[in-house]
Amino acid sequence: MDQEAEVGGFVEEPMESVAFGRIAAQQAKQVIVQKVREAERSQVVDAYKDRVGTLVSGVVKRVDRNGIYVDLGGNAEGFVPRTDMIPREIVKSQDRIKAFLKEVRSEPRGPQLFLTRTAREFLIELFKLEVPEVGQGLIQILGAARDPGVRAKIAVKSLEPRVDPVGACVGMRGSRVQAVSNEIAGERVDIIPHDDNAAQFVINSMSPAEVLSIVVDEDSHSMDIAVAEDKLSQAIGRGGQNIRLASQLTGWDLNVMTESDAEAEERNRSQDAGRELQEVSWTSTKTSPRSWCRKASPPWRKWPICRSPSSPTSKSSTTRWSRNCATARATCCSRRPSPARKRSMSGMPADDLLLLEGMKPDLALALARRGVRTREDLADQAVDDLLDIEGLTSEEAGKLIMKAREIWFEAGRA
Question: Phi/psi of residue 175, each to 5°?
Answer: -65, -40
Q: Which CATH class is domain 339-413?
A: mainly alpha
Beta carbons of 35 and 43 less than 8 angstroms apart: no
pTM: 0.60
Under 8 Å between Cβ of 405 and 399:
no
- Give buried/exposed letters for 96-132 (b at 16+ CB in 10 A, else e): ebbbbbbebeeeeeebbbbbbbbbbebbbbbbbbbbe
pLDDT, one tens digit for every residue, the chain (414 residues): 788 888 888 888 888 877 778 888 888 888 998 888 888 888 888 888 889 999 999 999 999 988 999 999 888 889 999 999 999 899 999 999 999 999 998 777 778 899 999 999 999 999 999 999 998 889 999 999 999 999 999 999 999 889 999 999 999 989 999 999 999 999 999 999 999 999 999 999 998 888 988 888 888 899 989 999 888 888 998 889 999 999 999 999 999 998 888 888 777 777 766 665 555 544 444 444 443 333 333 333 333 333 333 333 333 333 333 323 332 233 333 333 444 444 444 467 888 888 888 888 888 888 888 888 888 888 888 887 787 888 888 888 888 888 888 877 665 544
Contact 374, 346 (CB under 8 A): no
Q: 31-116 belongs to which homologous superfamily?
A: Nucleic acid-binding proteins (2.40.50.140)
| CATH number listed for the domain at residues 120-194 | 3.30.300.20
Q: Do 31-116 and 200-333 share a fold?
A: no
Alpha-carbon gap, residue 208 to 187, rounded angstroms: 16
**Separation of alpha carbons 54 and 72, rounded Å:** 13
Distance between CA atoms of residues 321 and 55, nearest Å: 46
What does the alpha-carbon distance between residue 369 and residue 210 come to, in Å, rounded to a whole number?
Answer: 59
Protein fold of 200-333: GMP Synthetase; Chain A, domain 3 (3.30.300)
At 14, is the secondary structure helix, strand, or coil? coil
What are the extents of the domains in the chain? 31-116, 120-194, 200-333, 339-413
